[in-house]
């Protein structure tokens, strides 16, 4: 089925617009259109409605051609303008219009020419849009390639004219550089030993001008510490930003580990890998008189829960953090290596059984508490350790590593037989973290069909009429409170454990549901509270925007964040009541602040189940009327993923909200493919990007490029962009440079129960 052609026709007569649409349909084009006689509405109409081409009836005396050209040039989107003229229009005027941005010209009473011109411009426009998508896909593919190279354990770098332009972590670690910036613009010749520079220069020149086949050569490199290292350098040709360059793949020469494995270093932590550990163990086991040797194996537990709650990359980052913390536990003469995604090994020499057990306990404590200084909501991980002591006859490095691994495995506690004595093993019993059952994931809902928006014509704006108010439905009586059972399913995120502090019990879903019910019915000490977080403009906007969040206050005056109780409220079917409570109290606060002269705007979240409520829009109108408030003061937010699942219901709700002048925002954006789909389907005002974009933004070039692409896409659709989760000042410079309109985060101000309004 061909894509429909959406037209905006500039004319003062509806019958003219209908005749043009009919003529195009007769020519085989799936056309549909809207019309207006006011050129100044071009930006508004093209932003709030699907539009592909603009037809301007120059022969209409009420159409101002100069104003049309002026407002068309001001559009941020690629929308071709086609002029329709008659014999009375002066040729000089038409020529000036073509110079002013019109794409084509056709006669009024020539439907065949009109069909041909529109079909050609429509085909060209689709090609330009496809080109934009292909370029975006190419950029993503190139970015994925760069990510794979960066995460690779093989040392790799790119040079142009002998200067470093890219390098991955393994390359920097091998040569002794800490940061990528240390190598950017660094000459490759400065890393070559002086006696081999002439040979290396000739080799690289031959790679640039030769037959293009991959070549390799053994060179001696010198890092910042001055220590020489002999490496095997493989060179292939490639391109970066359409510029030719050489890609270097560097491997240490003569460091093949046990079993032919390349020792190398771990790309995430910079620690030696398993091959290097086996080589070091073999060397120490063969060295006589070096003293007793012990091997401690630390295995991080709970990474599966981190991956489920935070994602696979977060689990890898968490394990890498453990490796960084374990560096401080390495005593003099020790050797630390990463031997798996969740395993680290520490070689101790000299070390007797007692000293090895003490260091093993220190390693376990360090690895068990990687979240010190992190957010309390980060999932906790634990650690189990295994210990293997080398005897006089031990010569196999792999055998010693296997013994430490088996010692870290969970074992049932053996009780001595009656009358006998139980001899404890030489190595200590590992500490096993309790395994908390994980709730099964919710069943996926099939996506709803995307509605077809057909606008045959668009009348001029009329004074809005207030919908007839209907009484708000009363809250349904909830069942009696349920007493929570001792064994409750764990919440999505477990609190991080702290050394010396008792572990806080996870919030019980049944208890949370009971507290929510009491707060809504007013039958207990629990209360719902609103907190506010400012949304600050980076572009000098004087409006005062605040995000409205909900908290739950229990009988002990503990304030629970939304993530602690919204899941339980959803399962209990109370999210609709919570959303209405939030909207009602937000409108009341808005009306009060506006009456005091403060020009506030509130951003309010609507849950997935609530947007299905067909009476919601009427109820919102009643609340606005009761508090003498205006819809333009409110922005209703919907998560992008939920919007896609409920596009039919959301489109219906958004149409009603737009009629009362409310603004619409999508949250958690930037994580799904084809982000422009919802921008084309919904009249959006704001895009709020997911929190992940702000994490480490100042150092992450990949995120910066992604953010710039999304910001440009938002501006193309005349939508304001907001980045949430901003936690440091360095990100603000990046966001301002990227063209982001607003920012929100704890760095600016944490959510507060009181509005701190600038006078």
CB of 440 closer than 8 Å to CB of 392: no
For residues 537 and 634, membership in a common domain is answered with: yes
DSSP letter assigned to residue 349: S
* pLDDT of res. 485: 37
* pLDDT of res. 633: 92
Specify if 676 maps to a domain: yes
Specify if 488 maps to a domain: no
pLDDT digits (tens, 9 = 90+) for 711-723: 888 888 888 999 9
Higher pLDDT, 503 or 27: 27
For residues 604 and 626, membership in a common domain is answered with: yes
For residues 179 and 129, membership in a common domain is answered with: no
pLDDT digits (tens, 9 = 90+) for 694-738: 888 888 888 888 888 888 888 888 889 999 988 877 788 788 888
pLDDT at 613 exceeding the cut of 70: yes
Q: Where are the alpha helices (DSSP H) in 27-110?
A: 42-48, 65-73, 91-99
Q: Which domain holds residue 538?
A: 531-548+575-743
Least confident of 5-19, 34-48, 647-661, 728-742: 728-742
Check which CATH number belongs to the domain holding 166 and give it.
Answer: 3.30.450.20
Q: Report the side by side order of strands in the sheet with 343-348.
A: 335-340, 343-348, 294-301, 382-389
For residues 182 and 317, membership in a common domain is answered with: no
Specify if 560 maps to a domain: no
pLDDT at 620 exceeding the cut of 80: yes
Last residue of a domain, one of 345, 379, 407: 407
Average pLDDT value over all residues in the chain? 78
Specify if 340 maps to a domain: yes
For residues 210 and 79, membership in a common domain is answered with: no
SS3 per-residue string spanning 509-559: HHHHHHHHHHHHHCCCCCEEEEEEEEEEECCCCCCEEEEEEEEEECCCCCE
For residues 97 and 160, membership in a common domain is answered with: no
For residues 311 and 382, membership in a common domain is answered with: yes
For residues 667 and 716, membership in a common domain is answered with: yes
For residues 163 and 105, membership in a common domain is answered with: no
CB of 104 closer than 8 Å to CB of 117: yes
Specify if 13 maps to a domain: yes
Which helix (H) or strand (E) segment is 601 a member of?
Answer: strand 600-605
Last residue of a domain, one of 407, 436, 453: 407
Structurally, the chain folds into a number of domains equal to: 4
Other CB atoms within a 10 A radius of the CB of residue 194 amount to: 9
- The partner residues of 723 in beta bridges, in order of sequence, read 689, 743
Check which CATH number belongs to the domain holding 388 and give it.
Answer: 3.30.70.270
Check which CATH number belongs to the domain holding 58 and give it.
Answer: 3.40.50.2300
Q: What is the mean pLDDT of residues 25-40?
A: 88
Looking up tokens 């005091």 gives 596
Rounded-to-integer distance, Cα 430 and Cα 410, Å:
7
The helix-helix angle for 701-716 and 111-151 (nearest 10°) equals 160
Check which CATH number belongs to the domain holding 596 and give it.
Answer: 3.20.20.450
For residues 183 and 229, membership in a common domain is answered with: yes
* pLDDT of res. 355: 80
Specify if 240 maps to a domain: yes
For residues 43 and 64, membership in a common domain is answered with: yes
Specify if 74 maps to a domain: yes
Specify if 707 maps to a domain: yes
CB of 481 closer than 8 Å to CB of 517: yes
CB of 742 closer than 8 Å to CB of 535: yes
Cα-based distances in Å from 77 to 50, 73, 431, 716: 12, 10, 61, 5
The strand pair at 634-639 and 600-605 is best described as parallel
For residues 248 and 279, membership in a common domain is answered with: no
Last residue of a domain, one of 354, 377, 407: 407
Structure tokens at 405: 């691994």
pLDDT digits (tens, 9 = 90+) for 436-462: 334 444 444 444 433 333 333 344 444
* pLDDT of res. 271: 81
């Amino acid at each position: 089925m061909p894509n429909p052609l959406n037209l905006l026709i500039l004319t003062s007569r509806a019958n003219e617009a209908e005749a043009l649409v009919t003529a195009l349909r007769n020519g085989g084009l799936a056309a549909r259109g809207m019309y207006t006689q006011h050129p100044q509405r071009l930006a508004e109409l093209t932003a709030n409605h699907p539009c592909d081409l603009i037809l301007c009836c120059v022969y209409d005396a009420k159409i101002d051609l100069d104003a049309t050209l002026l407002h068309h040039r001001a559009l941020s989107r690629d929308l071709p303008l086609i002029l329709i003229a008659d014999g009375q229009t002066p040729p000089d005027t038409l020529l000036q219009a073509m110079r002013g941005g019109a794409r084509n010209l056709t006669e009024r009473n020539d439907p065949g020419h009109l069909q041909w011109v529109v079909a050609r411009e429509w085909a060209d426009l689709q090609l330009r849009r496809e080109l934009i998508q292909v370029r975006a896909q190419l950029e993503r593919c190139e970015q994925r390639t760069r990510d794979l190279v960066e995460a690779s354990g093989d040392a790799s770098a790119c040079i142009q004219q002998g200067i470093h332009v890219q390098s991955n972590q393994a390359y920097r670690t091998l040569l002794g550089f800490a940061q990528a910036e240390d190598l950017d613009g660094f000459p490759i010749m400065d890393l070559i030993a002086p006696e081999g520079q002439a040979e290396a220069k000739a080799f690289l020149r031959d790679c640039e001008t030769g037959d293009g086949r991959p070549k390799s050569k053994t060179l001696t490199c010198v890092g910042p510490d001055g220590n020489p290292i002999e490496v095997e350098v493989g060179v292939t040709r490639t391109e970066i930003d359409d510029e030719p360059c050489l890609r270097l793949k560097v491997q240490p020469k003569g460091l093949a580990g046990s079993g032919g494995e390349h020792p190398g270093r771990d790309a995430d932590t910079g620690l030696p890998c398993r091959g290097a550990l086996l080589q070091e163990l073999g060397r120490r086991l063969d060295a006589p008189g070096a003293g007793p040797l012990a091997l401690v194996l630390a295995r991080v537990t709970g990474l599966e829960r981190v991956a489920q709650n935070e994602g696979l990359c977060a689990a890898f980052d968490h394990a890498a953090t453990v490796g960084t913390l374990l560096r401080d536990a390495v005593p003099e003469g020790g050797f630390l290596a990463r031997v798996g995604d969740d395993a680290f090994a520490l070689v101790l020499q000299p070390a007797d059984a007692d000293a090895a057990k003490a260091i093993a306990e220190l390693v376990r404590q360090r690895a068990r508490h990687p979240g010190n200084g992190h957010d309390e909501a980060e999932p906790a991980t634990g650690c189990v350790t295994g210990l293997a002591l080398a005897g006089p006859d031990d010569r196999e490095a792999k055998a010693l590593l296997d013994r430490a691994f088996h010692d870290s495995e969970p074992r049932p506690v053996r009780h001595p037989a009656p009358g006998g004595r139980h001899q404890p093993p030489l190595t200590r019993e590992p500490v096993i973290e309790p395994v908390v059952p994980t709730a099964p994931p919710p069943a996926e809902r099939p996506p709803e069909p995307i509605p077809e928006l057909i606008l045959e014509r668009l009348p001029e704006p009329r004074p809005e009429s207030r919908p007839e108010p209907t009484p708000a439905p009363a809250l349904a009586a909830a069942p009696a409170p349920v007493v929570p059972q001792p064994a409750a399913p764990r919440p999505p995120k477990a609190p991080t454990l702290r050394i010396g502090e008792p572990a806080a019990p996870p919030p019980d879903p049944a208890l949370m549901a009971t507290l929510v019910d009491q707060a809504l019915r007013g039958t207990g000490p629990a209360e719902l509270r609103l907190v506010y977080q400012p949304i600050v403009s980076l572009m000098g906007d004087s409006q005062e925007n605040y995000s409205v969040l909900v908290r739950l206050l229990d009988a002990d005056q503990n304030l629970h964040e939304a993530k602690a109780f919204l899941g339980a409220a959803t399962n209990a079917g109370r999210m609709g009541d919570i959303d209405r409570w939030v909207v009602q109290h937000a409108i009341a606060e808005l009306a009060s602040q506006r009456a005091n002269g403060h020009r506030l705007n509130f951003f309010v979240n609507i849950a997935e189940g609530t947007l299905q409520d067909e009476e919601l829009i009427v109820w919102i109108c009643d609340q606005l009327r009761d508090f003498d408030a205006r819809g333009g003061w409110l922005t209703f937010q919907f998560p992008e993923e939920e919007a896609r699942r409920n596009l039919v219901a959301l489109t219906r709700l958004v149409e009603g909200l737009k009629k009362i002048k409310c603004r619409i925002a999508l949250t958690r954006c930037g994580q799904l493919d084809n982000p422009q789909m919802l921008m084309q389907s919904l009249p959006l005002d704001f895009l709020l990007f997911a929190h992940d974009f702000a994490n480490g933004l100042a150092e992450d070039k990949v995120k910066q490029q992604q953010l710039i692409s999304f910001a440009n896409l938002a501006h193309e659709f005349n939508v304001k962009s907001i980045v949430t989760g901003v936690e440091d000042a360095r990100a603000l410079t990046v966001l301002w440079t990227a063209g982001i309109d607003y920012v929100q985060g704890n760095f600016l101000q944490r959510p507060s129960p009181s509005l701190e309004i600038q006078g």
